[in-house]
Structure 1
Amino acid sequence: MDGGDDKRPVTADDRAPRSAVVVNPTKVTDLDEFRRTVNDALSAAGWPAPVWYETTAEDPGRGQTEEAVRDGAQVVFACGGDGTVMACVSGLVGTDAALAVLPQGTGNLLAANLGLSNDLAAGLEVAVERGMRRLDVGAVGDQYFAVMAGMGFDAQMLEDTSETTKARIGWPAYVVGAAKHLRDRPMRVTVAIDDKPPLRRRARSVLIANVGRLQGGVRLLTDAEPDDGWLDVAVLTPRTLRHWLAMGWALVRRRGSVPRMEVFRARRVEITSNRPQPRQLDGDLIEPGRSLKAEVRPESLWLCVPRPERAPDLAEDADAAAKRGEKLVEEARRE
């Protein structure tokens, strides 16, 4: 289901597109007010009213997204946390419908890579301006990720981060979750990249990335590009608190190499651990396991972005889009 053609689902020259909103109602404080704001803003931009779908515990968004596309939606808004966005990504891979992110959860990974926080106005403006790029995705079985998959410490951090703490202080809550596991013993892993001889390491985490920004805007992989046909594989091997501090300082400064981190490029990668490990896709936990196998699906997802040019950083122009979005929402409220 690779993409490959340069056809865009909608452009600024097209008539206003049909859209759908896939929302996780547990992530929205006032769903009626949220619905009014989105409907009014899209109406002010000349778009027809969107069709609304709510996620459920049984279906976090993939089925609703697939139904929306079958019913003619050209843009699907994903409103919720990482799990909602990942489910929508999986429902859109290989279609000509585009994904727009309206983050409502804490620390949404794809939103962070777009330069969006929980700014509803910015997310709406990015979609309304119809700046779109066709991105690669990573495939793990029948699930897909647009940002990053991982096994080990990163998923353990997510697992042990309190929802209450996230709601209270935002993404720094992940630091609290991480601190619980800095001294855990490493896992013995084999990393098989394409047809090369497998690597063996004592690692704390192995990340498979399409783009490189982490929670809080920290850029882990500066060379990761979202549409280059490759996945970047980062093997993290800190063993002491001093190693962690050195790695963190290097990531914040972003000068030169990062100690205790090796980076490889792959079209296919399989990570195998000596014992079951927590695993995550785009910041959403999946079942623990001893292996994680991913392969790239080149240019198979249309994504609404602040600026459509081919740049490694998807967050370009995000601040300006946020300001324009505030005006859009204000105009909608006056009408």
Structure 2
Amino acid sequence: MSPTVAVIAHRKKTLGAGLDRLRVLVSEQDVGRLLWYEVPKSRKAPKKVRRALKEGAELVFVWGGDGMVQRCADVMSGSGVPMAILPAGTANLFAANLEIPTDLDEAVRIGFHGRREPLDLGVLNGEHFAVMAGAGFEADMIADSSGDAKERLGRLSYVKAAARHVGGPLVPMKIKIDGATWFEGEASCLLFGNVGTIAGGIEAFDDARPDDGWLEVGVSTAQGPVQWARVIGRMATGRSEDSPFVRVTRARKVSARFEKPMMYELDGGEREPVTRLKATVAPGALTVCRP
């Protein structure tokens, strides 16, 4: 029996010849029912995913960037329904880490005929993420580079935002790893990783794998452009934990308390400032179509 296939598309994102071409490519496959949903913002996607799953979708194509994937993965976690990623965003970090190409025809082929693999997700304050999440410098940079600037400048918006926030303050924080205090002091950034590579091909977490049942954790005490340049340079040329301004470990559960509210982000989407974060790993929570 031909499967029910759903497409959840961020209509403002572009890939290849566009959504019309996607409809043609899907129609050429052995599809029973096609459920087609377009949204103007990624935050509108969860409602459509829930509807698709309720309608019996057996394969869900997600058209958009990391934020769109995150919103859909949060709903699809634990469902067992495969997600096929069509990387139409700015950075597409999750797709890049999984070697899913920005070639529309090939990405669709992978969705229908690639292998199905259960992958881990991180969970931060009750919300799933696929790539990375964090608070402090990185979250401030993400927030500053979102909206019109991101649409207009693409990856350059991240560079410009980073330059504006390298002088941000250090914040006293206490971080517990699996119940034991791991870090207590002032830091500028707390990062959680499910995969290793971030924008620009830099390895933030050298040993990260999305199928190992662990969450990577990093904290940076870097402040100012000189120290941050040293951190990024170390990530680009060696191992991030070799930097004197970085500590890295892995965990199944993490709790963090900040002296003052800090903005945090999940897969490039900013969230409101908080004084506490709780992170866990959800092993094998999302089934993804891979080459």
TM-score (normalizing by structure 2):
0.90
Separation of aligned partners in 2, 1:186 and 1:147: 25
Moved more, 137-146 or 86-95: 137-146
1:21-50 per-position Cα deviation (integer Å, ceiling 9, x unaligned): 1112233599xx733211221233444463
Could you say which residue in structure 2 is the equivalent of 1:327? none
Q: What are the within-5 Å matches in structure 2 for residues 98-113 of structure 1?
A: 98-113=82-97
CA distance in 1 between partners of 2:104 and 2:33 (Å):
17
Q: How many residues align?
A: 290
Identify which range, 270-279 or 38-47, moves more after superposition. 38-47
Identity, in percent, stands at 33
- The residue number in structure 2 matching 1:216 is 200
Is residue 128 from structure 1 mapped to residue 112 from structure 2 by the alignment?
yes
Counterpart in the other structure of 1:312 = none
Structure 2 partner of 1:309: none
Q: Which residue of 2 aligns with 1:332?
A: none
Q: Which has the higher strand share?
A: 2
User: What amino acid is aligned across from residue 236 of structure 2 in structure 1?
Assistant: V
In the alignment, is the contact (CA less than 8 A) between 1:134 and 1:299 conserved in 2?
Answer: yes
1:83 alignment partner AA: G
Cα displacement string for residues 230-249 of structure 1 (whole angstroms, at most 9, x for unaligned residues)? 10101111124222121111
Mark the runs of 5 or more structure 1 residues left unpaired by the alignment: 1-14, 307-335
Whether contact under 8 Å (2:12, 2:40) holds in the other structure is no
Q: Where does residue 273 of structure 1 map in the other structure?
A: 258
For residues 256 and 282 of structure 2, the distance between their equivalents in structure 1, rounded to whole angstroms, comes to 18
RMSD, aligned CA: 2.4
Q: Out of 10, 35, 38, which is 1:24 matched to?
A: 10
Q: C-alpha displacement at 1:104, in angstroms?
A: 2.4
Question: 1:200 Cα deviation (Å)?
Answer: 0.5
- For 2:10 and 2:21, the matched residues in 1 are separated by 16
1:245-264 deviation digits (Å, cap 9, x = unpaired): 21111111135843121111
Corresponding residue for 1:227?
Answer: 211
Does the 8 Å CA contact 2:131/2:267 hold for their aligned counterparts?
Answer: yes
Which of 218, 234, 238 pairs up with 1:250?
234
Structure 1 window deviating more from structure 2 (49-58 vs 278-287): it is 49-58
Q: Could you tell me whether the CA contact under 8 Å between 2:42 and 2:71 is conserved in 1? A: no
Residue identity matched to 1:264:
T
Write the distance in 2 (CA, Å) between the matches of 1:280 and 1:263. 19
How does 1:87-236 map onto structure 2 within 5 Å?
Answer: 87-116=71-100, 118-161=102-145, 163-236=147-220
Paired residues of 1:43 and 1:49 also in contact (CA < 8 A): no
Instruction: Tell me, in whole angstroms, the C-alpha distance in 1 between the residues paired with 2:15 and 2:227.
Output: 41
Runs of 5+ consecutive residues of structure 2 not aligned to the other structure:
none
Q: Are 2:69 and 1:53 aligned?
A: no
- What do residues 184-210 of structure 1 show as CA deviations (whole Å, max 9, x unaligned)? 111111111112135203111111111
Which of 282, 286, 289 is the aligned partner of 1:297? 282
Alpha carbons of structure 1 residues 116 and 157: separation in structure 2 relative to 1, 3 Å: farther
Partner of 1:318: none
Distance 1:128 1:58, change over 3 A: closer
Letter in 2 for 1:22: I
Cα distance change on mapping 1:149 and 1:224 into 2, 3 Å? same
| Contact 1:102-1:120 within 8 A present in 2 as well | yes
